[in-house]
Amino acid sequence: MRYLVLIAGFGVALDTAGIELSALFAAGALFAVGLGFAMQSIAQSFVAGLIILSERSIKPGDILNVEGQVVRVRDVGIRASVAQTRDGEDLIIPNAVLIQTTVTNHTLRDSIYRIRVSVGVVYSSDMKVVKETLMDVAKSVSETYAVEGRAPQVVMTEFGNNSVNWEVAIWTNDPWQSRLATSALHEAIWWTFKEKNLVIAFPQLDIHFDPPLMAGLERLASSAA
């Protein structure tokens, strides 16, 4: 509205001064075309800013994931928006980026956010005990980040090359602090597994030699001795 009022006021002032607006527009048409190409990106961001401000899809205080980086919106301007990273850095993001790319708004309708942690255990583990232990850990950690009506979840995801993989998921009301919640869940799993002697798997490689090759290696070892 402010820009519309300024444009209208400028037009009235020119008309009052006796300047023919139609002639002025015709004379500036070619200049406007050239300027339009030069200011294409700025114009895109300007229009994108109008769309964002009218739709209210992104507001100050929202937590966004923009191009793989989590930021908190501080201000939405007509050309660019100012956001802050978790490291306290201020980012100036052209509004065209927010419109033309896929942006995750973690606080668009609510601030509920799911945290997922993966863990693999060796194949010799008692999987029933593993699942019960992971569920107990998830319930314990989720008490700190409780979300009403959202229960923690433990699922077996796959049979890997070196491990049976599980995923633990809990909910939080603060996406901005999701890293701390993830760390708390990781630590709780680590220490609980230590107490119950459950082994977290790590990559291993087993090498098997054919019998003829083994026999040849044994002969070489005997001759060397």
**pTM of the predicted structure, to 2 decimals:** 0.69
Residues spanned by CATH 3.30.70.100 within the chain?
Answer: 113-195
Q: Which two tokens stand for residue 161?
A: 């090359």
Query: Tens digits of per-residue pLDDT, 155-193?
Result: 999 999 889 999 999 999 999 999 999 999 999 999 999
Are 164 and 119 in contact by the 8 Å Cβ rule? The answer is no
Q: How far apart are CA 11 and CA 160, in angstroms?
A: 70
Q: Given its phi and psi angles, is residue 105 left (phi above 0), alpha (psi -120 to 50 degrees) or beta?
A: beta
DSSP string, 79-142: SEEEEEETTS-EEEEEHHHHHHS--EETTSS---EEEEEEEEE-TTS-HHHHHHHHHHHHHHHH
We find that the CATH architecture of domain 47-105 is Roll (2.30)
Residues spanned by CATH 2.30.30.60 within the chain?
Answer: 47-105
Query: Tens digits of per-residue pLDDT, 88-105?
Result: 999 999 998 998 889 999
Are 94 and 79 in contact by the 8 Å Cβ rule? The answer is yes
Q: How many CB atoms lie within 10 A of CB 196?
A: 13
Tell the CATH topology of 113-195: Alpha-Beta Plaits (3.30.70)
Query: Tens digits of per-residue pLDDT, 47-85?
Result: 888 888 888 889 999 999 998 899 999 999 888 999 999
